[in-house]
Amino acid sequence: MTVDSQNTGRAFYRKQADLLPEKAAPVTSVGALGWLRTNMFSGWFNTGLTLIAVYILWRIIPPIVDWVFLTSDVEGVDRFACTNSGACWAWLDQRIRQYLYGFYPADQIWRVNIAVILLFPALAPMLFSGMPYKRILSWFSLAYPVIATILIIGGLGLEPVSTNRFGGFMLNLIVGLSGIVLSLPVGIVLALARRSQLPIVRTLSVLFIEAVRGVPLLTLLFVSNIILPIFLPPDVTFDSLVRVIIMVTAFSAAYMAEVIRGGLQAIPRGQYEAAQAMGLNYSKMMALIILPQALKISIPGIVNTFIGLFKDTTLVILIGLFDILGIGKAMVANPDWQGLGTETYAFVACFFFVVCFSMSRYSVYLEKRLDTEERR
């Protein structure tokens, strides 16, 4: 500035008229072009990355679109009806019911549909705050597991359906949801036990959690199918679906316990001390003060555990149950449809992607909501 005033010999300000007229920004730095330049072509490294990305997209997207839509077949009663080079979707209208419901009796499928539809109002009060009629809805959520169980299995005048006929995506949902509903309370108990002052309770909890987390779910499923009959008295049998649900629950409860323990550890000591100073006993302190806070901060971790659990439901095919992947594999073993593995796997992948992606988006939404609540 001093230099400027010396050169011009004037005061430190300029008159408006002396200023150069404002020029429009160069085309390379505004608008689409400018955005492209700053975001994708700033420097040789960045440009290289962009080129590689474009190349990858170019190699992946057109063939997929071509295979899925442009050169695919959608009509026919067997694979020989598919004459184009792309995917063969002819099985969709023949087999979609099996993919969704397995071997559930065709005239009873409405019961499953109702159970699925009712799931939404049952979930709503748990997922979102500020729902209207929250009180009534949350009572409904409470009753939902019983309602759904009766609807699907039968009873109260409904024709009983054996669990052997469960299959398809319905089986994934049943195993997944039951695992989710059951593993949360078990996980809470385990987490509390692990942080308990009582040495035996604590040791047992640690042993259980570490043992279950240390082995693959597959071996636990083998235990339920091969070893459990040896452990039970003769002529006492467990329904195979219930055995799977027990194992899946035990497995994800151990992970859940660790997530919740993380939440418990994050609660400041002062909260415990304040609760004790108020004269609350252990169960009241936990139920009213500590757990509500701890669970709230562990929700993202809990949802992630749920996502993992839901994906793991596909493992049931390795013990002979027919979930959606198993139905797909059974279909390609049928001479009419054999060799359609890729179509099947892509179709099945879509189902899981939709459910798991929604759950992970929900977890992101929750994290954001919790963040803003913290800042209040």
Site for another protein in 189-248 (CB under 8 A): 197-201, 204, 210-211, 213-219, 222-223, 225-243, 245
178 belongs to the binding site for another protein (CB under 8 A): yes
- Mind giving me the DSSP string for 111-131? HHHHHHHHHHHHHHHHH-SS-
Q: Which is nearer to another protein, 1 or 103 (CB)?
A: 103
Least separation in angstroms between CB 216 and another protein: 4
Establish if 127 lies at the interface with another protein (CB under 8 A).
no
335 makes contact with another protein (CB under 8 A): yes
Q: Which of 232, 136, 248, 234 is nearest to 182 (CA)?
A: 248
Determine the Cα–Cα distance for residues 226 and 371; give it in Å rounded to an integer: 47
State the amino acid at position 326 in one-letter form. G
65 contacts another protein (rule: CB under 8 A): no
Distances (CA, A) of 52 to 42, 47, 59, 60, 62: 15, 9, 11, 12, 16
To another protein, the closest distance from the beta carbon of 326 in angstroms equals 8
Toward another protein, which CB reaches closer, 69 or 139? 139
287 binds another protein (CB under 8 A): yes
Size of the site for another protein (CB under 8 A): 115
**C-alpha torsion angle, residues 155, 160, 164, 168 (rounded to 10):** -80
Q: Does 123 bind another protein (CB under 8 A)?
A: no
Instruction: Report the DSSP beta bridge partners of residue 102.
Output: 166
Quick check: 271 binds another protein (CB under 8 A)? no
Q: Tell me, what DSSP letter sits at residue 197? A: S
What the block records as the tokens of 116 is 């699925």
28 binds another protein per the rule CB under 8 A? no
CA-only gyration radius of the chain, Å = 29
**58: contact with another protein by CB under 8 A:** no
Q: Position 138: which residue type?
A: S
The smaller minimum CB distance to another protein, of residues 84 and 342, is found at 342
**Nearest distance from C-beta of residue 103 to another protein, angstroms:** 5
CB 244 within 8 A of CB 175: yes
User: Is 277 near another protein (CB under 8 A)?
Assistant: no
8-16, 36-44, 63-71, 267-275 -> range binding another protein (CB under 8 A): 36-44
DSSP letter assigned to residue 235: T
146 contributes a contact to another protein by CB under 8 A? yes
